[in-house]
């Protein structure tokens, strides 16, 4: 594992979780669910092991005991009440899902009348990222009705990368101009985060009553998590518009997020955003959750063409310049040799990040009894997280946040309005 994963592991008071759910066109039985969980457990070492930091190194060792019943529960309820358990899982703030030492847990909702089921799965983000979460959940064929069709999930190849490749001149442009712009953006973002971090340290230092300070900190960490499940967007239209504009799907979705902010708050402002950039090497089991968080500072008042252009330039610069490998080496050096966790600056800068944009590669579920997939990350601070995943021809968005001042109905309306603006040719 990478030292970068300390970013999640060190935050024991307010850990980050991934919660996913998938709807299944069958009435699951407890026996089938048990067989499913056992097969996932046996096929994935990440579910069997505990992760710890010893001598500033991350280690993984197998748990001595495994009690299956501590890892799941079944709810026999009407289908219309399935959705209530996403909030319940998100607001269970214990570092072990409240049930066992292992940081993962299932809730299975079953409607006997309609013969539909929904499986929720919660896991500590230090154990896996979105791509590997999909791999974990598809490592069993128990849920398949027809074993001959048990093909497992396959990932889309055109979700984020446009068909056309860039020219040599464009590569040099991103290597020179793009790299300079990224350095400038990251220095500015670091200064913002550092100022917030210093403010946090000063508040901690000058707090006279340690007990009161601990109570305030505990209250902040256990602030209720809210979520907004948006109506699905049509994936085929987003793909078509992305191809016509010669941008990636992620560019378009990110631009929708920025435009929705302007429509909702009705004022111009610079937004500081964070996105995970996967560094996982294919087939390397030791790097199942290795990524870099990359930042962007962007004004929400751009018109739609300039907004898309600005987004496309920044993310092409990240992909085509040398910034990512340079930044990665720098982070590893600071973590390994200077014994500093630079991402603690983010953890303790609660108001600095405006949005986290995360897009999980959608599974192919056409030949499975699964009819829908959604997921969300639990926010660590006051940022809003856009959790996006495709399922069949649907693009599902869940916004998770701790800011109770947001009007969910109006915010969702702004997302749709931004979508229509940016996909109208």
pLDDT at 283 over 50: no
**pLDDT tens track for 82-140:** 999 999 999 876 655 555 455 789 999 999 999 999 999 999 887 888 878 888 888 88
Averaged over 267-286, what is the pLDDT?
76
CA 215/CA 209 separation, integer angstroms: 10
Assign 234 to helix, strand or coil: strand
DSSP SS3 for 277: strand
pLDDT band of 395, cuts 50, 70, 90: very high
- Output the average pLDDT for the chain: 82
Question: What are the residue ranges of CATH 3.30.559.10 in the chain?
Answer: 3-149, 168-423
Residues 6+ apart with CB under 8 A from 218: 13
Domain formed by 168-423, architecture? 2-Layer Sandwich (3.30)
Q: What is the pLDDT of residues 138-163, one digit of tens each?
A: 888 787 655 444 444 444 434 444 44
> Which pLDDT does position 407 carry in this prediction?
94
Q: What is the pLDDT of residue 358?
A: 93
Query: How many helices (H) does the chain have, and how many strands (E)?
Result: 14, 14
CA 198 to centroid of chain Cα atoms:
27
> What's CA 253's distance to the chain center, in Å?
14
As given in the structure block, the two tokens for residue 358 are 């995360």
DSSP state of 5: G
The CATH number of the structural domain formed by 3-149 is 3.30.559.10
**pLDDT at position 102:** 56
What's the CA dihedral at 412, 416, 418, 422 to 10 degrees?
A: 160
| pLDDT of res. 344 | 62
What is the mean predicted confidence (pLDDT) over 328-342? 75
């Amino acid at each position: 594992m990478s030292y970068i994963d300390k970013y999640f592991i060190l935050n024991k008071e307010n850990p980050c979780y991934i919660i996913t759910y998938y709807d299944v066109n069958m009435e699951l039985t407890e026996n089938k669910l048990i067989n499913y969980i056992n097969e996932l457990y046996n096929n994935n070492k990440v579910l069997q092991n505990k992760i710890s930091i010893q001598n500033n190194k991350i280690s993984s060792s197998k748990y001595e005991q495994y009690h299956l019943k501590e890892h799941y529960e079944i709810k026999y309820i009407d289908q219309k009440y399935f959705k209530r358990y996403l909030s319940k899982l998100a607001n269970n703030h214990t570092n072990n899902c409240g049930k066992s030492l292992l940081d993962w847990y299932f809730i299975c909702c079953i409607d006997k009348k309609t013969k539909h089921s929904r499986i929720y799965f919660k896991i500590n983000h230090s154990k896996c990222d979105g791509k590997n979460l999909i791999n974990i959940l598809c490592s069993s064929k128990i849920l398949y009705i027809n074993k001959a069709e048990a093909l497992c999930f396959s990932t889309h190849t055109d979700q984020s990368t446009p068909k056309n490749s860039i020219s040599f001149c464009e590569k040099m442009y991103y290597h020179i101009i793009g790299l300079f712009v990224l350095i400038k953006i990251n220095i500015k973002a670091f200064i913002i985060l550092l100022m917030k971090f210093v403010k946090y340290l000063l508040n901690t230092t000058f707090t006279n009553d340690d007990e009161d300070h601990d109570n305030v900190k505990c209250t902040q960490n256990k602030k209720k998590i809210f979520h907004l499940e948006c109506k699905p967007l049509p994936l085929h239209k987003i793909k078509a518009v992305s191809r016509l504009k010669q941008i990636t799907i992620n560019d378009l979705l990110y631009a929708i997020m920025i435009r929705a902010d302007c429509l909702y708050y009705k004022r111009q402002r610079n937004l500081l955003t964070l996105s995970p950039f996967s560094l996982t090497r294919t087939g390397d089991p030791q790097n199942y959750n290795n990524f870099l968080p990359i930042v962007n500072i962007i004004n929400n008042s751009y018109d739609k063409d300039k907004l898309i252009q600005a987004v496309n330039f920044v993310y092409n610069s990240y992909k085509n310049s040398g910034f990512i490998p340079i930044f990665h080496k720098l982070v590893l050096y600071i973590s390994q040799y200077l014994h500093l966790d630079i991402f603690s600056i983010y953890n303790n800068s609660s108001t600095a990040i405006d949005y986290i944009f995360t897009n999980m590669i959608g599974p192919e579920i056409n030949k499975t009894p699964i009819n829908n997939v959604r997921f969300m990350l639990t926010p660590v601070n006051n940022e809003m997280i856009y959790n996006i995943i495709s399922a069949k021809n649907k693009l599902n968005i869940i916004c998770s946040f701790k800011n109770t001042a947001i009007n969910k109905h109006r915010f969702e309306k702004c997302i749709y309005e931004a979508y229509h603006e940016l996909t109208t040719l």
